[in-house]
Structure 1
Amino acid sequence: MSRPANKRQENSKISRELFVLTYGALVAQLCKDYEQDEDVNRHLDRMGHNIGIRLVEDFLARSAVRKCRSYSETVGMIAQVAFKLYLGITPTVSCSNTKGNEFSLILDKNPLVDFVEELPAGRSSLCYCSLLCGIIRGALEMVHLAAEVTFIQDSLKGDSVTEIGIAFLKKLEDKKPKRNNLK
């Protein structure tokens, strides 16, 4: 017997809200553990990177997407499929340069900050959502794309939107196992 669609959506919303609340508690604990915002940002990015590496398999299994042939297709897939699947939103994509290797994901609403009104006092250089940058970077590495992923605008810092910049650096080579030649 299958679940009704509205029950699945409700469970997804509950899971997303639980994740957002848990994430807030994690950031608060990291702020207690580390005095410098840069240390917290680095730790969140590293955690995100590890999540991204593991998330690719789940994403590919759940979405049944085909291989992307361009950076533009890849960013479109991240925005239209991955963000929708895991966070329930679809960011706007814009290309930032003529070479076609720099893009922005613009989030009108960032679900990770649903329960956050402002950054803690004295934490002006904290990048609360660094986890997202790490996730994107880690996932791209797993599909053999090196990228620099950074926050350009942050709604928690007074910007009207949250903007994540993705600059593709290069395609990584598939490492093929060396063959043992028995003589």
Structure 2
Amino acid sequence: MSRSANRRQENHKISRELFVLTYGALVAQLCKDYQQDEDVNKCLDDMGYNIGIRLVEDFLARSAVKKCRNYSETADIIAQVAFKRYLGVTPSVTCTKWNEFSLILDKNPLVDFVEELPAGRSSLCFCGLLCGAIRGALEMVNLAAEVTFIHDSLKGDEVTEIGITFLKKVEDKKKKKNK
């Protein structure tokens, strides 16, 4: 491997570790700022949503993915391309209904340095940022979705499972005006 390719790989690893540590510090600060887990969860979801609506442009520009024809293809692209690109993991995808999918992470990179939830914070959704980011990105490509944690390894589950329910395809406002 060339020296520059090795350096790029090292930089990617360093920046991922820095992101994970910074994210943990962010959640810790939110726990200090807010008494209720629901407030922290809402804040993380809102932050994730804002990240998702901005991240989708970078994703579409760099990934060269084609327009998805159905929800199944969309779920596969989220797992195989987006998660791999931004978090370095590839969750498996399971389908429960024609519009419901689960992303199953055997290893959640956001909890690399976290052993357990803080005491008294059992309803904290530590990785709630992920749900918001997925929801925001999907909304930007005109797909309304509900995104929730079904299982969480920090709460004693074997894996982390994120559920995505596609609600409807949102019609583009430009298309409505032209009709």
For this structure pair, what is the TM-score category when the shorter chain's length is used for normalisation?
Answer: over 0.9
The CA distance in 2 between the partners of 1:5 and 1:167, in whole Å, is 39
- The correspondence of residues 6-155 of structure 1 with structure 2, limited to 5 A, is 6-97=6-97, 100-155=98-153
- Give CA deviations for 1:87-138 in whole Å, capped at 9, x if unaligned: 00000000012xx100000000000000001000000000000000000000
Of 8-17 and 29-38, deviating more is 8-17
| Secondary structure of the corresponding residue to residue 96 of structure 1 | strand
Superposed CA RMSD in Å reads: 1.3
The CA distance in 2 between the partners of 1:4 and 1:85, in whole Å, is 19
| Secondary structure of the corresponding residue to residue 83 of structure 2 | helix
Q: After the TM superposition, which parts of structure 1 deviate over 6 Å for at least 4 consecutive aligned residues? A: none
- Give CA deviations for 1:33-85 in whole Å, capped at 9, x if unaligned: 00000000000000000000000010011111111110000000000000000
The CA distance in 2 between the partners of 1:11 and 1:62, in whole Å, is 19
The CA distance in 2 between the partners of 1:7 and 1:90, in whole Å, is 23
Of 3-12 and 63-72, deviating more is 3-12
Letter matched to residue 173 of structure 1: E
Q: TM-score normalised to the size of structure 2?
A: 0.95
| Secondary structure of the corresponding residue to residue 32 of structure 1 | helix
Q: Structure 1, unaligned stretches of length 5 or more? A: none
The CA distance in 2 between the partners of 1:163 and 1:74, in whole Å, is 17
How many residues were matched structurally? 176
Q: Structure 2, unaligned stretches of length 5 or more? A: none
Letter matched to residue 136 of structure 2: G
| Secondary structure of the corresponding residue to residue 123 of structure 2 | coil
Q: Structure 1 vs Structure 2: percent identity of aligned residues?
A: 83
Q: 1:4, CA displacement in angstroms?
A: 2.9
The CA distance in 2 between the partners of 1:8 and 1:82, in whole Å, is 19
Q: TM-score normalised to the size of structure 1?
A: 0.93
Q: 1:6, CA displacement in angstroms?
A: 2.3
Q: Larger C-alpha radius of gyration, 1 or 2?
A: 1
